[in-house]
Structure 1
Amino acid sequence: MKKLKRALIAFLIAILTVNVVALGVINTVSADTTTLSLNARAAYAIDAETGQVLYQKNANKTYPVASLTKVLTLAVIEQDVRNHHLSWNQKVKITPAVAKVANDWHFSNVPLNAGESYTIRQLTESMMIVSADGSAEALALADAGSTAAFNKKMQAVAKKAGVTDAKIYNMIGLANGDLGKNSLKNVKKTAENQFSAKDMALISKYLIETYPDSLKITKTKMANFRVSANQEYQMININSLLPENGFAPKNGTIDGLKTGNTDTAGKCIISTGMFAGRRVIVVALHTKGDWNDQSKDAQKFYEKLTEIYQPVQLTSLRQLSKNVQDAHVVHAKDKHSTGLELIKSTTIWLPKGTTLNQVGAKLKIDQSDRSMTHQLKAPVKKGQHVAYVTLKPTGMPSIQLPVKATDNIKKNGWF
């Protein structure tokens, strides 16, 4: 009888265990279908126009980024072509030091022959399509004369993009010592450029907004590079997310930007494309697994983005809850409140099935315009930027929108 009881108890425990495990699997699958994720050490995804953060993971911590650096290098070259410091048809003669890097099988390259000349356009295309390290070095030296001088230009453009915390050692993303004769003096040979995932997204946003034609290069799938009069090198874009490639997302179109890989940086990628009529930029640093794993993970991210989120037009604060449509004004002479309105219309990504008035909204008075009680203080001018509305969509990072006053409010003479 005791044996029978023990057997019955064991049977019931087994059933409960199976059910618990099954429920755990269901819960995991359910969570996975309602949230975005990237299998990377750090990641950052934004709407390229508004800057709305769609996903972030260790986004502000700086890491080596390998050849993602070349997005910034491209921005400098684009800038200097526009400013007539360089021209696309200008020829660059390759030095022995650059040829040594360009023909090193350890690096990503097209062959460059010492003494041979190549145009700025040729070198730029090879830098972005197949991540040619020697081409990046040749461009930087032609533009600024030295690695250190070009680094200063990179820092200046990064600052324009809103990046101030990056560590920049060269135009390629290799370790400093890998540049040989063109490496920085009195800097460790192992030093590598370091950016955060957010930094790389901001630089990519700046590049696309300021030099939109750069996407014509990054979306090129195949091109020939003339190495010499008797030799051509066929360049095949290594971005597997481009249209008709194996990992092209089914719900949008990728048209750039850049991959990268070193031992310390791991496999990194910046990608961008149009989804639900919006340009999205996604950065993933030190992704897990091999290149196929990276591409598959990015593909799933984009497909899930439009599966669970949708862009919604926000043209008026009346679309939000009433608590952000006006503000009480202290120290006022007559009128003690002002209406509020958006400084400009915008588009917000929201979870599907969510309306704008369902999103949690809070009003935060601008630091310079608030009283000790954190209320808006007189005087207030119509059209004056006075506050921010913070939105917190379910499962998404918060969004800050600047708002302005719709009324003139005079100050009470006692104050």
Structure 2
Amino acid sequence: MKRYKTKLIVAGVIVLIIGLIIGLSTNKKDVSKPTNVKHVTDKPINLSVDATSAVVIDAKTGQILGVKNADKQVPIASQTKMLTAYGVLQGIKSGKIKWTTKVPITSKSDLSDQDSHLFSHIAVKAGDKLSVKELYDVMFANSANDAAFALGEFMTPKGKTTQQALQMWAKSLHLTGSQWYNSAGQVNGDAFENQIKSASTTAANHATAKQLAMIAKADLELDPTLRKLSEKMTISYHLTASYVVTDKTDYWQLMTQTMPKLSNPNKLVIEGLKTGSTPESGAAFTGIIKDQNGHEFITVVNGAGDYMDEKTRFQATLDVVNEVLAKKQGHTFTSNQTIQKLNFQALKKTEVPVKLAETKTFWTNKKTQLKLSNLSVDTKLAKLNKNQKIGHISPALNAQYLSYTSKTDKQLTVKSGVKGTQANWFVRLWRNLF
């Protein structure tokens, strides 16, 4: 009987040890390491720009830095093409199309008989075929309406109208309350065969400044090369295999004709992105702007002057960023910066330096300190590679962000500063017990 009890005790101890080893080898839920850091509250400044609506956001985080009527629905004209681009980029991402896929030009997108000064278009006619990439490029670089009509029609799912496709893409971006009639941004009566018969001829696409910033941010995340595309001085496309047309871009006009006339004391760089011009929308521009410290902003100004004005919209864009820079300061947390050392009980070397895996800037009012808080790392990991992403940390900041900004955009990813291998079972058991 005593021998039987002894066996039971030994068996129980073995089971306990095995259980401890299994528990020590298993990754458990994240262990949060909050710090007692005072949080800072930041609000967007009220922009004084002479425009119907405007917004400035940090391009990386989505933090809203400046606003003017930023939730007001307004006519948006060719800024619509950013939503058409979003539909294209989703098609590329899903594998439904490739950049080299040929798009047929139908009568719906044949604007060859129209005055290109009134209705921007390229030299294509019904029956031509251009690649997705060529149409996408001229849609941005030259605001080509025929390219937008062609891509909108091509990306429309079978059984749906292009208007329904636009509404579907808008819904996926949570653009609540926005209105969409055609893929180029023309007033309904000027959309030619793309006109919606059931709608008024004066019907126009509408969105808010914040919503336009949301589309721009989504496009940039799906296609970071948009920055380079937007800065091209010329753009080319094939009418036939051997016949290439090359045109000057809107950016050429901006850099050679407009920028020299603008006041730009902070030497801001306009990297792109999309103008909008109709009598209904006035002069508008959704921009990617970079300051001399490398901070990147997405800006929107709507109704900044008459729709034919090629100066006011860009001056207004520079002005809103300058106003933000005058009233706010950026707190930049840099990749590879060590923020803390943590103990990983399952590793041979338990103390691991935790570093930032990315660089991000968060904004507050001037003369305000900003620290990091709420480090969250799984400290049960039994193996680490150097630079392995292991968790995240947040700025001690209560700020406003674009709607549906992801949690990761508001945080910083952290990584392991060293390589770590698992300690033997006895060491792990000993550490767990004592």
Using structure 2 for the length normalisation, give the TM-score.
Answer: 0.62
Q: Is the 8 A contact 1:140 1:146 kept in 2?
A: no
Q: 1:72 to 1:269 in 2, by over 3 A?
A: same
The aligned residue for residue 130 of structure 1 is 142
Residue 39 of structure 1 deviates from its aligned partner by: 1.8
Residue 257 of structure 1 deviates from its aligned partner by: 0.8
Determine the C-alpha separation between the residues in 1 that align with 2:282 and 2:104. 32
Determine the C-alpha separation between the residues in 1 that align with 2:46 and 2:305. 19
Q: Is the 8 A contact 2:274 2:285 kept in 1?
A: yes
Q: Does 1:251 align with 2:254?
A: no
Could you list the runs of 5+ residues in structure 1 that have no partner in the other structure?
A: 1-33, 316-343, 360-382, 393-400, 403-415
Residue 231 of structure 1 deviates from its aligned partner by: 6.8
Residue 58 (structure 2) aligned to one of 31, 40, 47 = 47
Q: 1:188 to 1:311 in 2, by over 3 A?
A: same
Residue 314 of structure 1 deviates from its aligned partner by: 7.5
Q: Is the 8 A contact 2:47 2:67 kept in 1?
A: no
SS of structure 2 residue aligned to 1:75? helix
The aligned residue for residue 278 of structure 1 is 295
Q: Is the 8 A contact 2:300 2:317 kept in 1?
A: no
Q: How many residues align?
A: 309
**How big is each residue's C-alpha offset from its partner over 1:347-390, in whole Å with a ceiling of 9 and x where there is no partner?**
432344x1227x9xxxxxxxxxxxxxxxxxxxxxxx9xxxx964
Determine the C-alpha separation between the residues in 2 that align with 1:294 and 1:60. 19
Residue 77 of structure 1 deviates from its aligned partner by: 0.6
**How big is each residue's C-alpha offset from its partner over 1:206-228, in whole Å with a ceiling of 9 and x where there is no partner?**
11123223333222222233445
User: What is the identity, as a one-letter code, of the residue corresponding to 1:88?
Assistant: W
The aligned residue for residue 114 of structure 2 is 104
Residue 350 (structure 1) aligned to one of 359, 364, 389 = 364
Residue 235 of structure 1 deviates from its aligned partner by: 3.0
**How big is each residue's C-alpha offset from its partner over 1:103-122, in whole Å with a ceiling of 9 and x where there is no partner?**
41121111212222211111
Residue 284 (structure 2) aligned to one of 268, 283, 298 = 268
Q: How does 1:203-352 map to 2 (within 5 A)?
A: 203-227=215-239, 232-238=245-251, 245-246=259-260, 247=262, 249=264, 250-275=266-291, 276-289=293-306, 290-313=309-332, 347-352=361-366
Q: Is the 8 A contact 2:75 2:207 kept in 1?
A: yes
User: What is the identity, as a one-letter code, of the residue corresponding to 1:350?
Assistant: T
SS of structure 2 residue aligned to 1:73? helix
Residue 138 of structure 1 deviates from its aligned partner by: 0.9
The aligned residue for residue 188 of structure 1 is 200
Could you list the runs of 5+ residues in structure 2 that have no partner in the other structure?
A: 1-44, 335-357, 372-390, 401-409, 412-434
Q: Is the 8 A contact 1:162 1:202 kept in 2?
A: no
Identity %: 27
SS of structure 1 residue aligned to 2:191? helix
**How big is each residue's C-alpha offset from its partner over 1:43-62, in whole Å with a ceiling of 9 and x where there is no partner?**
11111222221111111110
Determine the C-alpha separation between the residues in 2 that align with 1:146 and 1:181. 18
Q: 1:50 to 1:262 in 2, by over 3 A?
A: same
Determine the C-alpha separation between the residues in 2 that align with 1:43 and 1:199. 11
Residue 170 (structure 2) aligned to one of 158, 161, 186 = 158
Determine the C-alpha separation between the residues in 2 that align with 1:147 and 1:140. 14
Determine the C-alpha separation between the residues in 1 that align with 2:75 and 2:360. 34
The aligned residue for residue 353 of structure 2 is none
User: What is the identity, as a one-letter code, of the residue corresponding to 1:111?
Assistant: A
User: What is the identity, as a one-letter code, of the residue corresponding to 1:168?
Assistant: W
User: What value does the CA root-mean-square deviation take over the aligned residues?
Assistant: 3.7
Q: Is the 8 A contact 1:97 1:182 kept in 2?
A: yes
Determine the C-alpha separation between the residues in 1 that align with 2:236 and 2:128. 17
Residue 142 of structure 1 deviates from its aligned partner by: 1.7
The aligned residue for residue 106 of structure 2 is 95
Determine the C-alpha separation between the residues in 2 that align with 1:176 and 1:305. 36
Q: 1:63 to 1:147 in 2, by over 3 A?
A: farther
Determine the C-alpha separation between the residues in 1 that align with 2:256 and 2:217. 21
Using structure 1 for the length normalisation, give the TM-score.
Answer: 0.65
The aligned residue for residue 113 of structure 1 is 125
Q: Is the 8 A contact 2:56 2:320 kept in 1?
A: no
